[in-house]
Structure 1
């Protein structure tokens, strides 16, 4: 299992390193509201993937296999949700962490939006319900144990790497673009890139459907 596990970790790290909805949302949140908001966003994303891990361990992917329309509907809901988050970032004036809001409310908003981002991210859904099971080998023991180990490893790696990204983005914004206007523009740029990535996923879904 150790060799296959290392291959899995390398695969996950490479996927996390490719900019996608999760990364762009954490980046935008950190630029708009600072490293703390970015960390809570990363924690929410990791928590959402931990929940998906439980569904995979329970065999929920079999439900999607039996009812593919359900999985398709969930992906479209995810596209709509991520598009809404992108527009929030684009229209942001730095207000995700506005002083009029309590820190607890701001932290909860960042965390809960992160949970929604991971639970409704089509890329994440595809990974957990289609790719992760492919690493299973009966010699490793029961599937549920395999799913928990591999799924929670993914969640931990997301938490670690996205939290580091939040710190780096926030530090860079303060160091190189200290003016509030520049920081707002960067967060809006992250929102635009998030929207572009969502539209790209939607285009890939439509082109795939056309081929079939």
Structure 2
């Protein structure tokens, strides 16, 4: 199994990467500010579920396809960009939200959870990042590489939950103040939509 020093270094690096501005933590922040910390936490769990898919792909060697195949990489990134543009349209056209009933809130939580999954797994750069990042901490002399990669992926997910969970709570606190004003909420909706458009363009123009 991996040494304590390796695990500490990996977890530290994972936390720092989670804090670096990127599509996922920006997504968590905007959703928390718009819909409350509960929604941000649900999005976080959706994103982390997507990370399970990426971890499995790397451990089984599937991610190499997106690194070596231009067609697969391009197809997946345009699917992801298209989905982000769809989210932008939804936010741009959304009315100022009122407090929802419990059943409707649960339905929104389900949508947000799957939204987080789709957003994460349709970004091929995450798989390629995992393919480049995780093996750096694996040691062939310490047992199965596949099991080590799964362990590292799990630790990365735990670090992501810690960081993104904190971001969700912060965004929810900000949102409680902002959402008291319909005018401010409309501005926030437009800002969130602009963020989705920017993320879509960034993903669509990205290269391997």
TM-score computed with the length of structure 2 as normaliser: 0.84
Q: Deviations over 1:29-76 (max 9, x none)?
A: 112211111111111111111122122222212444554422332222
Q: 1:144 to 1:165 in 2, by over 3 A?
A: same
Equivalent-residue separation in structure 2 for 1:124 and 1:77 (angstroms): 14
Check whether the contact 2:81–2:199 (CA below 8 A) recurs between aligned residues: no
Q: 1:192 to 1:4 in 2, by over 3 A?
A: same
Equivalent-residue separation in structure 2 for 1:21 and 1:105 (angstroms): 24
What corresponds to 1:174 in structure 2? 176
Check whether the contact 2:37–2:172 (CA below 8 A) recurs between aligned residues: yes
What corresponds to 1:137 in structure 2? 139
RMSD: 2.6
Map 1:46-195; keep pairs closer than 5 Å: 46-65=48-67, 67-95=69-97, 98-99=100-101, 102-175=104-177, 178-195=180-197
Q: Deviations over 1:87-130 (max 9, x none)?
A: 32333334597559622211101111011111112442332233
Which moved further from structure 2: 121-130 or 166-175? 121-130
Equivalent-residue separation in structure 2 for 1:65 and 1:194 (angstroms): 25
Q: Helix, strand or coil for the counterpart of 1:154?
A: helix
Unaligned stretches of 5+ in structure 2? none
Check whether the contact 2:34–2:179 (CA below 8 A) recurs between aligned residues: no
What corresponds to 2:38 in structure 1? 36
Equivalent-residue separation in structure 1 for 2:191 and 2:119 (angstroms): 18
Q: Helix, strand or coil for the counterpart of 1:102?
A: helix
Per-residue deviation at 1:17?
Answer: 1.4
Runs of 4+ displaced beyond 4 Å: 94-101
1:45 counterpart (44, 47, 57): 47
What corresponds to 1:203 in structure 2? 205
TM-score computed with the length of structure 1 as normaliser: 0.83
